[in-house]
Chain A
Amino acid sequence: MSIILDHVNYIYDEDTAMAHAALIDVCLNIPDGQFVGLIGHTGSGKSTLIQHMNGLEKPTSGCVFYDGKDINDSDYDKKSLRAKVGLVFQYPEHQLFETDCFKDVCFGPKNLGLPQKEVELRAYEALKQVGFDDEYFYQSPFDLSGGQKRRVAIAGVLAMKPEVLILDEPTAGLDPKGREDILNLISKLHEEMGITIILVSHSMDDVANYVQRIIVMNKGRVAFDDEPKEVFKHYKELEEIGLAAPQVTYVMQELHEAGFPVDTDVTTLEDAKNEILKAFGKC
């Protein structure tokens, strides 16, 4: 059930003076069950890229395969693809429209043509999965806090039981607590349900602790595509394209240069702490 992008190019407003290449020769293979971080500066083409993965945008040239089939073939069932590849847009709370949260989450499964019972069961499960309190189920989504609204919106996609879940900057505009909650939630979804997750962000610190693989986008091209610790080794190049490695990387690099025997590959705060303690314990 992997997603494969084969030499994908995409040009916005083709044939006009505003023509603008948003994706240039993108080749990716995202296998089943992977937790991927998609990182890039604003305007680097992240949102455009993920919209190719569920067929909302069609490549100007190149192919996108899901489960071994070209999704842009004329006889490919896009609707069922969109149920399998769930996409949560940036600021997903802006798409809420129903009178209560529960009904809004029902929208997705209902569109799949499932029986009413199944629809409601899925909506209930999805709201539970995102840790949403029962007491708010029948409240208007517009009365909730930003973080709660976002949970409802994510549940709206989860209720379709996707095999791949793509989230476009799910932490944008949230306070630090809200960010951590959402990130932990996503990580939990990955562990418990084993689905593929693609987490889009412009902050390395957001994803470093969670993902197995990082894809870095720069001006429509894939700049790096590797394990987090390998990508962070290029922290100087990352800075050139307007990104930064996690703060931990900088601390470890400087300690290393100052002559302390620390492992510069660690990416999480916890590992870094242990490394530093070990190094100082030895001194």
Chain B
Amino acid sequence: MLRDITLGQYYRTESVIHSLDPRVKLVATFAFIVSLFVANNFIGYVIAALFLAMVIYLSKVPPKFIFRGMKTIFFLLLLTMVFNLFLTPGTPIVSVWKFTITQEGLKMAAMMAVRLVFLITGSSLMTLTTTPNHLTDGLERLLRPLRLFKVPVHEISMMMSIALRFIPILMEETDKIMKAQMARGADFESGSLIKRAKSLVPLLVPLFISAFRRANDLAMAMEARCYKGGDGRTKMKPLIYEKRDRLAYLVIILYLVLIVVMGRILF
């Protein structure tokens, strides 16, 4: 059940998307998210869907694996839809008691659902095809200009890479502790809400202890290797753009232009 959370997990395989420079993928994800909010008509979403489908195909990540992550945001999705459905003012279609479904609400709910699904798919695709280390390397490079304003770019990206690195480890740990407590008769799935919240104590206490222990060990190991922040630090594999990366940028620009133009033509 915990393995269903795909956000922040890397899927190891070889593909064009995997081998792209992480900066390209970060920019592409950002552009994609922006495009979702720029697009405000049906055609725009069709283009976004096609773009997404193409990237998924190229990435060789099985769609099943990508959409498994969708289960975890199902409630968020439902909530957004319900709110939009009932709380958008406009032309009423049906009305039950105090609740009215409007035409605008229906449209809005559908749009938000599509946006949310695309947004999650797009960003999980980035983490699925990029190792956490690569990702933060890319982020560090992209944000480097901010150093002029005294933003600790290196430290932030180091913190991020550690956090990302620890997601799968802590998930595995959770799985193990959960099983160990289940072997002692613990029940995480049934009972009232209060009972279920209580049943988390035997899981959370060992998990926190283990997280602190790991954090402590890591800090020690970093110090033992003379880590002292970003100043004067060099990379073993510096990021360099290649032909495929420039090509990818071109595709992204084309995609953005297409979305914007489609918006203009139709309205």
Contact = CB atoms under 8 A, between A and B. Distances in A.
A54 B179 CA distance: 11
Contact of A95 (B62, B64, B177, B185): B177
B185 A112 contact: yes
A89 B11 contact: no
B185 A160 contact: yes
Contacts of A240: none
A95 B201 CA distance: 11
A166 B46 CA distance: 56
A157 B184 contact: yes
Nearest to B61: A17
Interface-central residue, B184, B201, B210, by most chain A CB under 10 Å: B184
B180 A95 contact: yes
B182 A82 contact: yes
B210 A111 contact: no
A15 interface: yes
B196 interface: no
Interface in A188-236: none
B3 interface: yes
Nearest to B203: A97
A112 B11 CA distance: 40
Interface in B78-134: none
Contacts of B184: 82, 95, 107-108, 111, 156-157, 160
A56 B202 contact: no
Contact of B185 (A51, A79, A89, A142): A79
Interface residues of A, number: 28
Contacts of B19: none
A186 interface: no
A157 B183 contact: yes
A16 B62 contact: yes
Contacts of B201: 97
Contact of B187 (A79, A92, A142): A79
A97 B183 contact: no
Interface string A60-100: 00000000000000000001001100111100101111000
A89 B12 contact: no
Contacts of B206: 94-97
A13 interface: yes
Given A92-B180, A95-B206, A83 B185 contact: yes
A18 interface: yes
Nearest to A111: B185
B253 to A, nearest CB: 31
Interface residues of B, number: 24
Contacts of B181: 95, 107
Contacts of A51: 179
A142 B209 contact: yes
Interface centre among A107, A112, A142 (most CB of B within 10 A): A107
B174 to A, nearest CB: 12
Contacts of B65: 15-16
Contacts of B62: 15-17
A87 B12 contact: no
Contacts of B187: 79, 111
Nearest to B64: A15
Nearest to A156: B184
A16 B180 contact: no
B244 interface: no
Interface in A147-205: 156-157, 160
A37 to B, nearest CB: 20
A54 B183 contact: yes
B156 interface: no
Contacts of B3: 13
B197 interface: no
Contacts of B41: none
Contacts of A156: 184
Contacts of A18: 11-12
Interface string A97-113: 10000000001100110
B71 interface: no
17 contacts: A15-B65, A16-B65, A51-B179, A82-B182, A82-B184, A88-B183, A94-B177, A95-B180, A95-B181, A96-B206, A97-B201, A97-B202, A97-B206, A107-B185, A111-B185, A156-B184, A157-B183
Given A95-B202, A107-B202, A108-B184, 11 more contacts: A15-B62, A15-B64, A17-B11, A17-B12, A54-B183, A56-B179, A88-B183, A107-B184, A111-B185, A111-B186, A157-B183
Minimum-distance CB pairs A-B, first 8? A111-B185, A97-B205, A95-B180, A108-B184, A87-B183, A89-B180, A97-B202, A17-B13
